[in-house]
Amino acid sequence: MTTPTTPPETPGTPAPILEVRGVQKIYQGKQRNVEAVRDLTFSIAAGEMTCIVGPSGAGKTTLLKCVAGLLDTTAGEIVLEGERVTGPPRGMAVVFQEYGRSLFPWLTVRQNVELPLKEKNLPKADRESLVDEALAAVGLADVHGAHPWQLSGGMQQRVAIARAVAYEPHVLLMDEPFAAVDAQTRGELEDLVRALWKRLGVTVLFVTHDIDEAVYLGQRVIVLSMSPTVVLADVAVDLPEQRDQLHTRSLPRFAELRAKVYELIQQSKRGVRPGSGDEHEQPGTAVAADTQSGSM
């Protein structure tokens, strides 16, 4: 129960840990129903770092809330570790964009990280060591007693990450976690996420609207269409595993991938949808090609 899951050391064909099958979400309104997500299908292998990117209004947050079990799907299903998600699953932790609103302001940093562990009924000694490790891992070993609002935005998000890490999830969901922090802090936090992912072997699903961030972080970038959302393309990121802000971002391959995803996002904004003869003016061929290359 408390053992951290390390994915099997077989890089060949790892079994999917998370499957999203034909998910549709329609918000029932008083006047009209809004179809936010139409048909999403993808699966994520254990230990994978996947970024989901889409223009604003692409139903990213809706998708993430469905995966997190916070929203019911209208159709389709989400399966985590072989079990259908009907409520927030135990093996999942979420880091929200609004760090200032997702930490309990009446608890100290330490208490914030510890609270979910208390709920898991972990013995005190285990809790202590998990909290200590998690806070040290995010570089906050010396602010245990502070309240979240006494910290800078970047540090608050570190606390939220520490809370997620201490929870020992199998899947870590991150909903535009760095959208509200400044650029320098953002770079540091991106590296922190990469480092934690490698060390813990956790599966990460990272939602963002930032193309550079998606390419820099992910092994794979799933590009979403505009709402009602479908998967527009699935791009494999074949950058070296060892990444750092300076060198990775100046690689020619990084620029290519960035350009590719950028182009996909532009298409998405213009309303291009994959597959069939599009009613839009944009040629659908480019999309098909990208989708193909993504599956390589």
Partner 1 sequence: MSVGSVARRTMLTVGLPVVLVTAWWFATANSTNFFWPPLREILEAFADTWFSNRIMADVVPSLVRLLVGYVLALVLGIGLGVAIGSSRTLRGVVEPVLEFFRAIPPPVLVPILILFAGIGNEMKVLVIVSGCLWPVLLNTVEGVRGLDEVLRDTARCYGLGRRSQLTHLVLRGASPQIAVGARQALSIGIILMVISEMFAASNGVGFTIIQFQRTFAIPEMWSGIILLGLIGITLAFLFRLVESRALAWYRGLRMTQRGEG
**Nearest approach, Cβ of 135 to partner 1 (angstroms)?**
16
Q: What residues from 157 to 176 belong to the interface with partner 1 (CB under 8 A)?
A: 163, 167
Between 55 and 169, CB nearer to partner 1? 169
Q: What are phi and psi of 71, to 5 degrees?
A: -125, 145
Query: Does position 121 bind partner 1 by CB under 8 A?
Result: no
**Nearest approach, Cβ of 103 to partner 1 (angstroms)?**
8
Between 93 and 261, CB nearer to partner 1? 93
**CB-CB contact of 24 with 59 (8 Å):** no
**CB-CB contact of 264 with 233 (8 Å):** yes
**Nearest approach, Cβ of 147 to partner 1 (angstroms)?**
6
Residues facing 235 on adjacent strands: 221
Amino acid at 35: E
**Nearest approach, Cβ of 167 to partner 1 (angstroms)?**
6
Report the SS3 class of residue 77. strand
Q: What residues from 210 to 229 belong to the interface with partner 1 (CB under 8 A)?
A: none
b/e for 70-80, b at 16 or more Cβ within 10 A?
Answer: ebebbebebeb
Q: How far apart are the C-alpha atoms of 247 and 280, rounded to whole Å?
A: 39
Q: Annotate each residue in 13-52 with x if it binds partner 1 (CB under 8 A) or - if it does not, as one string.
A: ----------------------------------------
Between 79 and 236, CB nearer to partner 1? 79
Q: Which long-range contacts (CB under 8 A, 24 or more apart) does 191-194 make?
A: 191/244, 191/245, 192/138, 192/139, 192/158, 192/161, 193/161, 193/217, 194/49, 194/243
Query: Does position 179 bind partner 1 by CB under 8 A?
Result: no
Query: Does position 150 bind partner 1 by CB under 8 A?
Result: yes
Q: How far apart are the C-alpha atoms of 23 and 37, rounded to whole Å?
A: 7
Tokens of 95: 């880091």
Between 144 and 147, CB nearer to partner 1? 147
Query: Does position 144 bind partner 1 by CB under 8 A?
Result: no
Instruction: Out of 60, 65, 194, 220, name the contact with partner 1 by CB under 8 A.
Output: 65
Q: Annotate each residue in 66-105 with x if it binds partner 1 (CB under 8 A) or - if it does not, as one string.
A: --xxx----------------xx-x-xxx-x-x--xxxxx
Q: How far apart are the C-alpha atoms of 53 and 227, rounded to whole Å?
A: 13
Non-local CB neighbours of 59 within 8 Å, separated by 6+ positions: 25, 36, 37, 224, 227, 228, 229
Number of residues that bind partner 1 (CB under 8 A): 29
Query: Does position 201 bind partner 1 by CB under 8 A?
Result: no
Binding site for partner 1 (CB under 8 A): 65, 68-70, 87-88, 90, 92-94, 96, 98, 101-107, 115-116, 118-120, 147, 149-150, 163, 167
